[in-house]
Structure 1
Amino acid sequence: MTGITLSPDAWKDIDPATEALLDKWLVAEGDTVRAGQTLANVVLVKANQDIVAPDDGRVEKILVPAGETFARGKPIAVLKELP
Protein backbone atom coordinates (compact mmCIF):
# COMPACT_ATOMS: atom_id res chain seq x y z
CA MET A 1 0.00 0.00 0.00
CA THR A 2 1.19 3.47 -0.86
CA GLY A 3 0.21 6.78 0.69
CA ILE A 4 -0.71 9.33 -1.99
CA THR A 5 0.77 12.77 -1.30
CA LEU A 6 1.34 16.07 -3.04
CA SER A 7 4.82 16.02 -4.60
CA PRO A 8 7.54 17.47 -2.37
CA ASP A 9 8.52 19.69 -5.33
CA ALA A 10 5.15 21.46 -5.06
CA TRP A 11 6.03 22.54 -1.51
CA LYS A 12 9.40 24.06 -2.47
CA ASP A 13 9.76 27.58 -1.06
CA ILE A 14 6.39 27.28 0.74
CA ASP A 15 6.17 28.10 4.45
CA PRO A 16 6.10 24.80 6.41
CA ALA A 17 2.94 25.89 8.26
CA THR A 18 0.99 26.38 5.01
CA GLU A 19 -1.67 23.80 4.14
CA ALA A 20 -3.08 22.86 0.73
CA LEU A 21 -6.80 22.69 -0.07
CA LEU A 22 -8.11 19.51 -1.68
CA ASP A 23 -10.36 21.09 -4.30
CA LYS A 24 -11.78 18.07 -6.10
CA TRP A 25 -11.43 14.30 -6.30
CA LEU A 26 -11.50 12.85 -9.83
CA VAL A 27 -11.71 9.25 -8.57
CA ALA A 28 -13.58 7.44 -5.80
CA GLU A 29 -12.68 4.74 -3.29
CA GLY A 30 -12.49 1.39 -5.06
CA ASP A 31 -11.59 2.89 -8.46
CA THR A 32 -8.77 1.26 -10.42
CA VAL A 33 -6.22 3.81 -11.64
CA ARG A 34 -3.14 3.86 -13.88
CA ALA A 35 0.27 5.32 -13.08
CA GLY A 36 0.27 9.00 -14.02
CA GLN A 37 -3.53 9.32 -13.91
CA THR A 38 -4.75 12.50 -12.22
CA LEU A 39 -6.51 11.57 -8.97
CA ALA A 40 -7.27 14.96 -7.43
CA ASN A 41 -6.90 18.71 -7.88
CA VAL A 42 -5.49 20.78 -5.04
CA VAL A 43 -4.81 24.45 -4.45
CA LEU A 44 -1.55 25.49 -2.81
CA VAL A 45 -0.94 29.22 -2.32
CA LYS A 46 -3.38 30.20 -5.10
CA ALA A 47 -1.83 27.73 -7.57
CA ASN A 48 -3.64 24.66 -8.87
CA GLN A 49 -1.78 21.36 -8.62
CA ASP A 50 -2.69 17.86 -9.79
CA ILE A 51 -2.00 14.78 -7.71
CA VAL A 52 -1.29 11.75 -9.87
CA ALA A 53 -1.13 8.03 -9.18
CA PRO A 54 2.46 6.88 -8.68
CA ASP A 55 1.62 3.31 -9.80
CA ASP A 56 -1.20 1.23 -11.22
CA GLY A 57 -3.56 0.26 -8.42
CA ARG A 58 -6.86 0.66 -6.63
CA VAL A 59 -7.85 3.59 -4.45
CA GLU A 60 -8.31 1.83 -1.10
CA LYS A 61 -9.20 4.80 1.10
CA ILE A 62 -9.63 8.54 0.69
CA LEU A 63 -8.16 10.20 3.79
CA VAL A 64 -8.83 13.88 2.98
CA PRO A 65 -12.26 14.77 1.57
CA ALA A 66 -12.79 17.54 -0.97
CA GLY A 67 -12.97 20.94 0.70
CA GLU A 68 -10.55 19.99 3.49
CA THR A 69 -6.93 21.08 3.93
CA PHE A 70 -3.83 18.98 4.46
CA ALA A 71 -0.25 19.57 5.52
CA ARG A 72 3.02 18.92 3.74
CA GLY A 73 3.76 15.18 3.54
CA LYS A 74 0.32 14.09 4.77
CA PRO A 75 -1.20 11.28 2.68
CA ILE A 76 -4.55 12.20 1.12
CA ALA A 77 -5.38 8.63 0.04
CA VAL A 78 -4.10 5.07 0.13
CA LEU A 79 -3.36 3.19 -3.09
CA LYS A 80 -3.15 -0.62 -3.23
CA GLU A 81 -0.83 -1.60 -6.06
CA LEU A 82 -2.05 -4.12 -8.61
CA PRO A 83 -0.20 -7.46 -8.67
Structure 2
Amino acid sequence: MAGRRVSAPTPDAARIEVTLAAATWEGVDANAQALLDSWLVAEGARVGAGAALARVVLVKTTLEVTAPAPGLVERILVPAGENFARGQALALMRPD
Protein backbone atom coordinates (compact mmCIF):
# COMPACT_ATOMS: atom_id res chain seq x y z
CA MET A 1 0.00 0.00 0.00
CA ALA A 2 1.64 3.17 -1.21
CA GLY A 3 2.36 5.88 1.33
CA ARG A 4 1.64 3.71 4.36
CA ARG A 5 4.45 2.98 6.79
CA VAL A 6 4.40 -0.03 9.02
CA SER A 7 6.90 0.05 11.83
CA ALA A 8 8.45 -3.09 13.21
CA PRO A 9 7.51 -3.97 16.77
CA THR A 10 10.09 -3.04 19.37
CA PRO A 11 11.76 -5.85 21.31
CA ASP A 12 10.11 -4.61 24.53
CA ALA A 13 6.62 -4.90 23.00
CA ALA A 14 6.47 -8.60 23.84
CA ARG A 15 7.59 -8.18 27.45
CA ILE A 16 5.29 -8.15 30.46
CA GLU A 17 6.19 -6.20 33.59
CA VAL A 18 5.71 -8.22 36.77
CA THR A 19 4.35 -6.05 39.59
CA LEU A 20 2.67 -6.48 42.94
CA ALA A 21 -1.06 -6.35 42.17
CA ALA A 22 -2.59 -2.89 42.53
CA ALA A 23 -5.37 -4.25 44.75
CA THR A 24 -2.72 -5.30 47.27
CA TRP A 25 -1.81 -1.64 47.81
CA GLU A 26 -5.40 -0.53 48.59
CA GLY A 27 -5.56 1.20 51.96
CA VAL A 28 -1.76 1.47 52.15
CA ASP A 29 -0.15 4.91 52.50
CA ALA A 30 0.82 6.27 49.06
CA ASN A 31 4.47 6.70 50.12
CA ALA A 32 4.82 3.21 51.60
CA GLN A 33 7.28 0.79 50.07
CA ALA A 34 7.36 -3.00 50.12
CA LEU A 35 10.37 -5.27 50.66
CA LEU A 36 11.22 -7.93 48.11
CA ASP A 37 12.03 -10.69 50.59
CA SER A 38 13.08 -13.47 48.20
CA TRP A 39 12.87 -14.67 44.62
CA LEU A 40 11.43 -18.16 44.23
CA VAL A 41 12.62 -18.44 40.61
CA ALA A 42 15.75 -17.38 38.76
CA GLU A 43 16.21 -15.46 35.53
CA GLY A 44 15.66 -17.83 32.64
CA ALA A 45 13.01 -19.91 34.44
CA ARG A 46 9.90 -20.97 32.51
CA VAL A 47 6.76 -20.57 34.60
CA GLY A 48 3.04 -21.08 34.25
CA ALA A 49 0.40 -18.41 34.76
CA GLY A 50 -0.16 -17.90 38.50
CA ALA A 51 3.15 -19.49 39.50
CA ALA A 52 4.73 -17.95 42.60
CA LEU A 53 7.71 -15.83 41.54
CA ALA A 54 8.68 -13.93 44.68
CA ARG A 55 7.79 -13.24 48.30
CA VAL A 56 7.32 -9.65 49.38
CA VAL A 57 6.51 -7.94 52.67
CA LEU A 58 4.02 -5.07 52.66
CA VAL A 59 3.00 -3.52 55.97
CA LYS A 60 4.12 -6.57 57.99
CA THR A 61 2.25 -8.97 55.69
CA THR A 62 4.07 -11.53 53.56
CA LEU A 63 2.60 -11.93 50.07
CA GLU A 64 3.48 -13.82 46.90
CA VAL A 65 3.98 -12.17 43.54
CA THR A 66 2.65 -14.44 40.81
CA ALA A 67 3.25 -14.75 37.09
CA PRO A 68 0.63 -12.83 35.10
CA ALA A 69 1.00 -15.25 32.15
CA PRO A 70 2.96 -18.35 31.18
CA GLY A 71 6.42 -17.57 29.90
CA LEU A 72 10.08 -16.92 30.59
CA VAL A 73 11.36 -14.82 33.49
CA GLU A 74 13.69 -12.76 31.37
CA ARG A 75 15.11 -10.24 33.84
CA ILE A 76 14.85 -9.57 37.57
CA LEU A 77 14.76 -5.81 38.17
CA VAL A 78 14.51 -5.62 41.97
CA PRO A 79 16.94 -7.84 43.86
CA ALA A 80 15.99 -9.68 47.06
CA GLY A 81 16.43 -7.46 50.10
CA GLU A 82 15.54 -4.25 48.25
CA ASN A 83 12.50 -2.03 48.71
CA PHE A 84 10.17 -1.12 45.86
CA ALA A 85 7.35 1.33 45.29
CA ARG A 86 3.72 0.92 44.26
CA GLY A 87 3.51 0.07 40.54
CA GLN A 88 7.26 -0.54 40.16
CA ALA A 89 8.22 -3.42 37.86
CA LEU A 90 9.92 -6.23 39.76
CA ALA A 91 10.82 -8.37 36.75
CA LEU A 92 10.28 -8.67 33.02
CA MET A 93 8.70 -11.73 31.45
CA ARG A 94 8.48 -12.81 27.84
CA PRO A 95 5.12 -14.56 27.42
CA ASP A 96 4.82 -17.91 25.60
TM bucket, shorter chain: over 0.9
Larger radius of gyration: 2
For 2:59, give the aligned amino acid: V
Higher RCO (CA < 8 A, seq sep 6+): 1
Q: Deviations over 1:25-59 (max 9, x none)?
A: 00000000000100000000000111000100000
Structure 2 match to 1:80: 94
2-structure distance, mates of 1:44, 1:70: 10
Residue 2 of structure 1 deviates from its aligned partner by 0.3
Q: Stretches of 4+ moved more than 4 A in 1?
A: none
The sequence identity of aligned pairs, in percent, is 50
Structure 2 match to 1:54: 68
2-structure distance, mates of 1:47, 1:58: 27
Structure 1 match to 2:44: 30
Residue 22 of structure 1 deviates from its aligned partner by 0.2
**Residue segments in structure 1 that go unaligned for 5+ positions in a row:** none
For 1:66, give the aligned amino acid: A
Report the count of equivalent residues.
82
User: RMSD value over aligned CA atoms?
Assistant: 0.4
Say which of 18, 21, 25 aligns to 1:11. 25
1-structure distance, mates of 2:84, 2:48: 24
